[in-house]
Copies of this chain bind each other. A is one copy, B any other.
């Protein structure tokens, strides 16, 4: 793979000076077009120590309008980052639409380094690279242009480069003992990198291996590749979804399947006020202790609430929060996105709110909007909501793998009960703000929603992050069921996670 980058390619100075002005003008123009087309660009710069990654980035910034570029470097993981899944630090730095994000090392660094130092096996690396590929695919399908550069030095060239840097007192500081340690592992390093590049060299996020010995050649190659990729991307418009290494989506939904999931729900159950009060008090006491225990053990919880309009999500959430210390939870309502949120992948706004260790975040509506309202109202294209199942499952798996308890509640009511509640809201002064024309419009699309809900539950109720369908016709039954489920899930996590 790297042989083709050990040919001693060079660019004479005169030629370089001739090419640069045109390249710069082209890049500036391309940047303006990107801004208008609202395409985010992700450029990963990776490669051997001493291959000139920093110099290359500096040159790019010099050529580009630096106001549209962000550079992201990933040093030691901060304690705020440690509290979240590993990809959180990358999500928080993704460029907005129309901007260019340059990533040093990026999501490739850790998997490669761990493998080179023997902390992981080849199969582990493949697994990690699979996740990387899924991440890049998701961003690409959302419209991002992704380019990855590998600046390659042969063993001999790397040795010479490190020696040269050490000889010059002005650059000596750039060679660390770590660099020589890495150098000793050169062969292993190349082998692992080759595995990494091969596994993640996709049509939507290609690798470009660049011979890095000659500065001028390296810079021109990176600059020209970037320019050509932008031009090609802008000429092509938004790419169609491609065949992917991830598993294909499950078969299309059928009305019969839709019936089954929600039909199982027994909406007739009732409970007396007295019994309810007694049982709820016990459950809430249990929740108070468990949420405290989870905090002490640094176990985070992400709970989401979806349900029909007027199903009683708010009241249910309140029964949870009133039992917990207000210092331990946060309720995040999902309404219209801000413009910063709109300028990113739809999951970005949820990654923002992943809690620190030990805390609870309750989402009042969630990322499932993508496969519910956005699907039914056709705000998202079919291929967009179809692939959202995979994206969501992957997102939740990352949370679960990080030890976060993921709870998903669908609060179900019958259409008759909804009608009764809508009418009640219209009659009662302090409830009127809770009913809008949109609620009535949504109600007319009951069947389409039912299909979408069934699909959602079938495709995203996983073992680690199962859906709990709540019988909501009786509010007391619903609330008890929710608090009880919350307690049970938390208790399991606390027990499992002994300190």
Q: How many copies does the complex hold?
A: 2
A25 to B433 alpha-carbon distance, docked (Å): 11
A66 in contact (CB, < 8 A)? yes
Closest B residue to A83 using CB positions: B78
A1 to B194 alpha-carbon distance, docked (Å): 72
A68 neighbours in B (Cβ, 8 Å): 333
Task: Judge whether A327 and B54 touch: CB under 8 Å.
Answer: yes
A289 to B171 alpha-carbon distance, docked (Å): 9
Contact among B73, B321, B335 for A61, CB-based, below 8 A: B321
A170 to B288 alpha-carbon distance, docked (Å): 9
Task: Judge whether B430 and A326 touch: CB under 8 Å.
Answer: no
A324 neighbours in B (Cβ, 8 Å): 58
A-side interface size class: 35 or more
Contact bitstring A315-331, B, C-beta under 8 A = 1, else 0: 00110011011110111
A218 to B288 alpha-carbon distance, docked (Å): 22
Contact bitstring A136-172, B, C-beta under 8 A = 1, else 0: 0000000000000000000000000000000000100
A462 to B28 alpha-carbon distance, docked (Å): 38
Q: Known: A58-B322, A80-B78, A321-B66. Is A327-B104 also a contact (CB below 8 A)?
A: yes
Contact among B66, B170, B333 for A285, CB-based, below 8 A: B170
Closest B residue to A341 using CB positions: B340
Contact among B29, B102, B325, B338 for A340, CB-based, below 8 A: B338
Query: Which chain A residues numbered 281 to 306 have a C-beta less than 8 Å away from chain B?
Result: 285, 288-289, 292
A73 to B54 alpha-carbon distance, docked (Å): 39
Q: Known: A327-B104, A338-B338. Is A430-B28 also a contact (CB below 8 A)?
A: yes
Contact among B25, B317, B429 for A25, CB-based, below 8 A: B429
A71 in contact (CB, < 8 A)? yes
A364 neighbours in B (Cβ, 8 Å): 66-67
A314 in contact (CB, < 8 A)? yes
Q: Known: A170-B288, A292-B173. Is A321-B67 also a contact (CB below 8 A)?
A: no
Task: Judge whether B327 and A71 touch: CB under 8 Å.
Answer: yes
A110 to B28 alpha-carbon distance, docked (Å): 49
A450 in contact (CB, < 8 A)? no
Q: Known: A71-B326, A78-B80, A333-B67. Is A321-B62 also a contact (CB below 8 A)?
A: yes
A330 to B68 alpha-carbon distance, docked (Å): 11
A433 to B67 alpha-carbon distance, docked (Å): 14
A322 to B25 alpha-carbon distance, docked (Å): 18
Contact bitstring A47-73, B, C-beta under 8 A = 1, else 0: 000000010011001100111111101
Interchain Cβ contacts under 8 Å between A and B, 18 examples: A32-B433, A54-B325, A54-B326, A58-B324, A61-B322, A61-B331, A62-B321, A62-B322, A69-B331, A70-B330, A71-B326, A71-B329, A78-B80, A79-B79, A104-B326, A173-B289, A338-B339, A338-B340
Given contact pairs A67-B364, A68-B333, a sample of 15 additional A-B residue pairs in the complex whose CB atoms are under 8 Å apart:
A25-B430, A54-B325, A58-B326, A61-B326, A62-B322, A65-B314, A66-B318, A69-B331, A71-B330, A79-B80, A102-B326, A170-B285, A170-B288, A173-B289, A173-B292
